[in-house]
Amino acid sequence: MALDSIGSASGAINTLRNLDSINRTDQTRGTPPPASTDGDIRASDAAVTDVRQTEQQTLDTLRQGLSEASAVGNVALAGARSVSDNLDQIGERLQQLTDPRLAADQRATLTTEIEGLVRQGLDTVDRASFNDVNLLDASRNQDVEVTAGRDGGTATVRDQDLRTGLESLQGLDLSTAESAQSALNSVFAEVRTTTNTAVDNLTEDTRRVDERNQDVQRLQAQVPTPDDNVDATLDANGALQIANQLQQALGGQSLGIVNQRPETLVGLFR
């Protein structure tokens, strides 16, 4: 499921495409332009401002998408950790049930407690949603995809399947020490592994998205405001040259954000 923040996916890509003309700018230049006029200077100032505004819009699009993906991922991660805590308690009771000396009423009490903990885990899965996106119920097929580059590439926070495992713990035969040991070694061990993997995956995906978001925010802070670094002695030609240089620099930095540390993208891209 692709998440669109303020803009649509196509709008985000259009914004990012505004930087695609960077490498074509120098190619279109020919002979030196004529002497500058006041109108030319005003146009040059506007060009510099437009480049800055375009870059801020591009970074806003990236940041907003990454922020939403981070929120969805972190809600799911909190839910997965809660389910993991439930499994710790279930495992403790299953271990107790492997004791053949347990009285029948003790065995019944522990079995009831396990059933209650399983229901709590399923309730947690149901509640682990943000903006109607739930990453703990794989049957919904709700991988989170966000724009990750000006070419329209996407980054993914992967969904996990905790529901199936928890449902497999319902109705277990725990009437004897042997059946409890069998459940502990097979069904429960599988659910434990699946949940641990889900916690690890969500931790890794959200950490990388958060790091990328921080990179974008740092770059936004570096983009000059319209009044910053303005040289009043510049003529129109000089201002246009600076505008083009700024555009090239910011375009390169934006591309760097989404392509740096390529090894970290392995966990995000499918």
For residues 3-31, average pLDDT: 46
- 220 vs 23, more confident: 220
Select the more confidently predicted residue: 103 or 225. Answer: 103
pLDDT at 63: 83
Most confident of 63-67, 121-125, 207-211, 257-261: 121-125
pLDDT band at 176 (very low <50, low <70, confident <90, very high): very high
Is it the case that residue 50 has pLDDT exceeding 80?
no
Phi and psi of 157, rounded to 5°? -105, 115
Q: Reply yes or no on whether the pLDDT at 3 is more than 70.
A: no
Share of the chain above pLDDT 70, in %: 60
Of the pLDDT bands very low, low, confident and very high (cuts 50, 70, 90), residue 146 is confident
Q: What is the pLDDT of residue 141?
A: 72
CA distance 110 to 95: 10
- 10-24, 62-76, 107-121, 211-225: lowest mean pLDDT where? 10-24
pTM, rounded to two decimals = 0.66
SS (H, E, C) the chain: CECCCCCCHHHHHHHHHCCCCHHHHHHHCCCCCCCCCHHHHHHHHHHHHHHHHHHHHHHHHHHHHHHHHHHHHHHHHHHHHHHHHHHHHHHHHHHHHCCCCCCHHHHHHHHHHHHHHHHHHHHHHHHCEECCEECCCHHHCCCEEEECCCCCCEEEECCCCCHHHHHHCCCCCCCCHHHHHHHHHCHHHHHHHHHHHHHHHHHHHHHHHHHHHHHHHHHHHHCCCCCCCCCCCCCHHHHHHHHHHHHHHHHHHHHHHHHCCHHHHCCCCC
pLDDT confidence band for 215 (50 / 70 / 90):
confident
Q: How confident is the model at residue 252 (pLDDT cuts 50, 70, 90)?
A: very low
Condensed to tens digits (0 to 9), the pLDDT of residues 68-117 reads 999 999 999 999 999 999 999 999 999 999 999 999 999 999 999 999 99
Pair 174, 107: CB distance under 8 Å? yes
Is the pLDDT reported for residue 172 higher than 90?
yes
- Position of tokens 């035969």? 173
